[in-house]
A and B are shown apart, each in its own frame.
Chain A
Amino acid sequence: MAMPKQPTENQEERRKRGRSNLTWFLLILTFLGVLAGPTMVVLCLGMLPTLVALLTDRSKQKSNSLCVGSINFIGVFPYIMGLWSGINDFNASLVIISDFFNLLVMYSAAAFGWFLFLTMPSIISSFVLVLQQRKVAQLRGEQKDLIDEWGAEVAAIVEVQKMEKKEHHMEHGMEM
């Protein structure tokens, strides 16, 4: 019978940290809810796509969430400003969110955010690729100059490092 896997220390730590973050988040949310309830109602409902993006974005950088969230916020912010500049109570916030057009504006902004995130990175990445190739060519040129001046032994350290890396990989492979 296979033994159940023991959770590693890192996983345990991450879980603890996640728990404490959630606690803080809820605490702040409660505090803000008490302090600015109407605003929080508009914000929470208007930023729902962002919440969805946050839940679906598995990347470390959370670029998707940031992108959607930022544009989504542009759609939500005018209504919050209206709330702050006019009557700032729960009724007013309910009126705002119950208006289909308002929600359309907010969610369209989020959709635009989604659209930006779907189109922009590929365009930018092609630019980045070109820039990287130029950078590599420039670095290779510098290396060639160094070899011309100092001989192949100038790369000795690099060769040694590569060899060590290879050996390390082989050892690692053997262990596996």
Chain B
Amino acid sequence: MANALDQAVETAAAQKDVPLPQEGEGSVSVSDNQRDTPPDTPSNPPNGTQAGTTASAPPASNGAKGTNGAESPPAPEGKTESKAPASKPKGKSTGIPEADRNAPQPALDPAQFPPVELNGRYLIYPSMALPDLNSPQAMAYAVEDRRESGRQLFALICKPGLPVRTSLMRELKAQNINGMIPMADFGPVFWGPIDQTAVAIVFERPLGGRFLDTFGDRPPRVSEYELAKLLIEPVAHAISELQAIDFAHRAIRLDHLFFMDKERRELVVGECLSSPPGFDQPIIYEPLNRAYAMPSGRGYGMSYDDMYALGIMTVFALLGVNPVARLSDEEMLAAKAEFGSYQCMCGNERIPMTLIEPLRGLLSDEEFERWNMEALDHWLNGQKKTPIQRRPATKPKTPFKFGGRDHMTTRSIAHAFSKNVPEAVKIIKNGKLDQWVSSSLGETALADSIVGVIANCKVNEGSPDGADDVLVSKVCIRLDPHAPIRYKNFSFLTDGFGAALAVEYLRKGNFQIPGEILARDLISFWVAAQSARTPDITSQERTFQTLRGFAKINEMGYGMERCLYELNRSLPCQSDLLRTTYVDHIDDFITALDQVADHVDTRSRPMDKHIAAFIATHFKYDIAPHLKALSDKKEETSLIGLLSLYALMQWRMKIPTLYGLSSWLGGLLAPAIGTYHSRTTRRRIEQEIPALVRQGSLPELFDLIDNAERRHVDTTEFDEAQVAFAHAEAEIESIVGEGVDQNKAALQVGERVTATISIILSMIATAVIIFVQTM
């Protein structure tokens, strides 16, 4: 299976933290007059950092930048093996970042891996890979449509475990989106090469190939006159139509555009279904607040975020190169934070007059200022719009030195703090930060709030709430409330917590850090730091309070597993028992478990924390009592809870028979049968179980095991038996008990009997004497 393993999907990689150089590593302060535009050469990077002194990770400028310079972490035990994704040497000359796509795989033997059927219609060929159409998190394969032969299709096989956008898939199955690659169908398939069930998504095949491939080795440059018609308009259509169904694409980038026709006239955006929103986007395509988050924590986003990506893409297409290619990700983000995205990207470039206005609008860092569809439509239709005047951020009197750099904005400081917690703690605790905020920025309210955070952490010193990571995280939130929550290199926006949680579990196999985030209630702190309480924020706060409640309960059906499924409703059940299947819907769950019963060690229980949490999340009936019983320390109570839960599910879902599960549970019920005191009752139940197992009825089985009347009779009779036993024991004790002199007692009885005999004799004799005398 070596080849199959090679084909195995990689574990999603986390955003690698780029360590910042320490003080004294050649940092040079930049005078104020140098701060009007971002630097254009490595000799003069933003904030004076010398090129090459910052990042230990390969800089994005070296062509094909990985998804945020990701590195593959070790795969957790039992999880899919991790493999570093291959990067394409495409952008080397232009510096335009591309998402890493899987490298071509060695061909598989068609005899060993026959075609896989999807939904009874599509045949997917594992032996016919289409590496050109690979997505970063999914491999492409040839597809045959059984109903329409000759139809040009391909399928993407998604990484198992990575949350895919099932809700959007359902929408796309119902309706096509103009300007987006058409999806034909989707569904789970058992994928032989990785020996797991994965989601397959079937698309119409783009016959014209990738947009970037049309340029060959030339820079992908589009003239200003063609740009709107060729690129902006179709992408805008896609964004607009997705917005209409309340979705954002979040994977709009230059290397993800395709021509649907051979003539290369119809341009479409590639798929955005095989990974969480924004997961595969190179950092440059993401608006600042989302770019600061790790890939999995970037959140669902909105059409505003797509508009920003469209703006960045337009700049690349217009210039044919990445204007900030020489900057590392960190430098690029710092430049965007300080000068604004438009200034950072276009400040040193010659932008045609006609495009200045839309680019300024699309690249606005403020969401409320960024161009929406309406504004873009107006522009496409030739109508003028008042240009956006960028309001520069308040400039400090003196720059704030940290990590060998001069920081001019609180946003940049917050980001730097999150990357270097030990140093940040020193600076925060010695009061330099609040002093600078108060004196240099003039933000006394912000300074006071930072002092408050420090004081609060001091009060909780020694407890987890007073830990350095918490302090830095809270200070970062205060400094940049719109940025992601950052805690121990786990950075996310509130709408991205679900995907971040899922990927974290996929990577590490535990929920340690997200659990700490909930326990420390950092999200409530973030909500409190927001200047405006939008309905979205209020709703998120409520959600997180609920999740916090779940996380606190260390019982079956709760804990972090429950949070995982509550936040990722389309995520398949991650239980090891269902590893080879794909169960993302409660209706399929119990039947899947029934089928699994034939292939597992039936001494184990058909239950674990993931299964319980999955059921608790998706099953609409109240199962709190069942979960309580399930979590009981007593094995027999727990087993009865388990049986009652599955019996309820079979009954409510009207599933006629579950032979496998009945047999599995039937074999586990010995401790539950043991809850009856009467051996006769136990034997009778044991004799009846096989018949009920053959019926495949869990409710019947449950009724046999936990019949109220039978249990009442058993309990009553047991109580009576206890009393009878005690009476017998008391009687025995009175005869041969401790401290009883049996001989003495017998002698006393003898004496009593003798006395009685004497009295009787006396009475008889007296009667005889009286009789004789009177005769």
The interface of chain A, by Cβ under 8 A from chain B, is 59, 61-64, 66-71, 73-74, 77-78, 81, 85, 113, 116-117, 120-126, 128-129, 132, 135-136, 139-140, 142-143, 146-151, 153-158, 161
Contact = CB atoms under 8 A, between A and B. Distances in A.
A122 B749 CA distance: 10
Given A140-B728, A150-B677, 16 more contacts: A61-B752, A63-B755, A67-B758, A70-B759, A73-B762, A74-B761, A121-B753, A124-B749, A124-B754, A126-B746, A132-B735, A135-B735, A143-B725, A149-B678, A154-B718, A158-B726
Contact of A70 (B721, B750, B761): B761
B188 to A, nearest CB: 49
Interface of A is mostly: helix
Given A67-B754, A73-B766, A149-B680, A129 B721 contact: no
Contacts of B743: 125, 129
A161 B773 CA distance: 61
A157 B724 CA distance: 11
B725 A155 contact: yes
B262 interface: no
A151 B754 CA distance: 44
B755 A154 contact: no
A124 B761 contact: no
A158 to B, nearest CB: 5
A124 B725 CA distance: 30
A73 B731 CA distance: 38
Interface string B722-754: 101110110110011000001100111111111
B271 to A, nearest CB: 63
Contacts of A71: 758, 761-762
Contacts of A136: 732, 735-736
A121 B755 CA distance: 9
Given A78-B769, A142-B728, A129 B742 contact: yes
Given A113-B758, A136-B736, A149-B678, A63 B724 contact: no
B2 interface: no
A61 B747 contact: no
Contact of A154 (B722, B748, B749): B722
A149 B679 contact: yes
Given A125-B747, A129-B743, A132-B742, A63 B752 contact: yes
B353 interface: no
A117 B755 CA distance: 8
A66 B759 contact: yes
A61 B725 contact: no
Of all A-B residue pairs in the complex, the 6 with the closest CB atoms, nearest first, are: A121-B750, A124-B750, A125-B746, A70-B762, A63-B751, A70-B758
Contact of A146 (B725, B747, B755): B725
A116 B758 CA distance: 8
Interface in B643-701: 677-680
A122 B769 contact: no
Nearest to A129: B746
Nearest to A66: B755
A83 to B, nearest CB: 11
Nearest to B764: A74
A129 to B, nearest CB: 5
A125 B755 CA distance: 13
Contacts of B553: none
A117 B735 CA distance: 24
A116 B755 CA distance: 9
A46 B185 CA distance: 123
Given A63-B752, A154-B718, A120 B757 contact: yes
A120 B724 contact: no
B765 interface: yes
10 contacts: A67-B758, A74-B762, A77-B766, A85-B773, A116-B758, A125-B743, A132-B746, A139-B728, A147-B725, A158-B729
A70 B755 contact: yes
A132 B751 CA distance: 16
Contacts of B755: 61-64, 66-67, 70, 117
A161 B678 CA distance: 23
B111 interface: no
B731 A135 contact: yes
B675 to A, nearest CB: 11
A155 B748 CA distance: 31
Contacts of B678: 149-150
Contacts of B1: none
Interface in B398-444: none
A136 B746 CA distance: 14
Nearest to B674: A151
Contacts of B728: 139-140, 142-143, 146
A155 to B, nearest CB: 6
A143 B751 CA distance: 32
B770 interface: yes
A158 B731 CA distance: 12
A96 B68 CA distance: 135
Contacts of B765: 74, 77
B46 to A, nearest CB: 78
Contacts of A161: 726
Contacts of A126: 746
Contacts of A61: 748, 751-752, 755
Given A120-B753, A123-B750, A154 B762 contact: no
Interface in B468-493: none
B766 to A, nearest CB: 5
Contacts of B742: 129, 132
A113 B751 CA distance: 12
Interface string B230-273: 00000000000000000000000000000000000000000000
A77 B770 CA distance: 9
A150 B735 contact: no
Contacts of B759: 66, 70
A116 B757 CA distance: 10
B758 to A, nearest CB: 4
A154 B677 contact: yes
B754 A63 contact: yes
Nearest to A141: B728
Contact of A140 (B718, B722, B732, B766): B732
Most buried by B among A70, A132, A142, A155: A70
Nearest to B747: A125
Contacts of B769: 77-78, 81
A159 to B, nearest CB: 10
Contact of B721 (A116, A132, A150): A150
B717 to A, nearest CB: 8
A81 B752 CA distance: 29
A40 to B, nearest CB: 17
Nearest to B681: A149
B722 A156 contact: yes
Contacts of A73: 762, 766
A142 B721 CA distance: 10
Nearest to A118: B754
Given A74-B765, A132-B742, A155-B725, A139 B679 contact: no
B722 A121 contact: no
Contacts of A70: 755, 758-759, 761-762
B731 A139 contact: yes
Given A63-B755, A70-B755, A142-B724, A151 B746 contact: no
A87 to B, nearest CB: 15
A140 B731 CA distance: 10
Contacts of B677: 150-151, 153-154
